[in-house]
Amino acid sequence: MFSSALLSSTLTGDVPEGFVVRPLNIGDYDKGFLSLLSQLTRVGDVTRENFVTRFRTMADTRPTSYYVVVIEETSTHQLVGSATLVLEWKFIHAAGARARIEDVVIRHDMRGRKLGALLNRVLVSLAKLFGVYKISLECKDSLIPFYELNGFKKDEGNNFLVQRF
Ligand code: 16G
């Protein structure tokens, strides 16, 4: 989806043995990507063709605006974690960009190994590398302590509002 050279060992920091951190690729349809996402929310019917089309839409943005980073377990070749950094281009802040962290999920049986903190670190480092002026995310109440431990805080006076369809 994007150049793996961006995910240098300097940027990722220590990755636990037996796991690899890398960009999502098209072959990940067969490595449990959608079933992993279904542990976050409803995925619905996404055929291989739907997946490839959506993958290309994201990968072809210019400047590249979607960075889906996954963790693969090397022994099983299955994905055990995924998180997405999205860049949003602005006129404000000197025609700057903000970043959003989206769709963070760690496979149930892999939780408690600090893989979520690893993905968070990688995405924040990438966002800093791109020079964004802020990075934000939405999460369930129960995950606020996790994100606070990982550098986020509530943006007092700024609320998240939604319309669902
Ligand atoms: C969480 C996710 C968000 C995801 C949403 C899906 C993080 C930090 N936040 O809010 O990215 O899109 O759940 O839930 O991963 P929904 O299907 O109810 O929108």
* Per-residue pLDDT tens digits for 132-148: 999 999 999 999 999 99
Percent of the chain with pLDDT over 90: 100
Q: Average pLDDT, stretch 87-91?
A: 98
Q: Assign 88 to helix, strand or coil.
A: strand
Cis preceding linkage at 63, omega within 30: yes
pLDDT of residue 123: 98
DSSP state of 36: H
Q: Whose CA is nearest to atom 10 of ligand 1?
A: 139
Q: Is the dihedral of CA 14, 60, 162, 136 positive or negative?
A: positive
Q: Is 137 in the pocket of ligand 1 (CB under 6 A)?
A: yes
- Amino acid residing at 93: H
Q: Average pLDDT, stretch 4-22?
A: 96
Q: What is the widest separation between alpha-carbon atoms in the chain?
A: 47
Q: Return the domain boundaries, the chain.
A: 4-149
Q: Is 102 in the pocket of ligand 1 (CB under 6 A)?
A: yes
The answer for residues whose C-beta is within 8 angstroms of residue 141's C-beta and 6 or more apart is none
Q: Is 147 in the pocket of ligand 1 (CB under 6 A)?
A: no
Spatial contact of 32 and 42, defined as CB atoms under 8 Å apart: no
| Complex prediction ipTM | 0.98
CATH code given to domain 4-149: 3.40.630.30
pTM score > 0.90 for this model?
Answer: yes
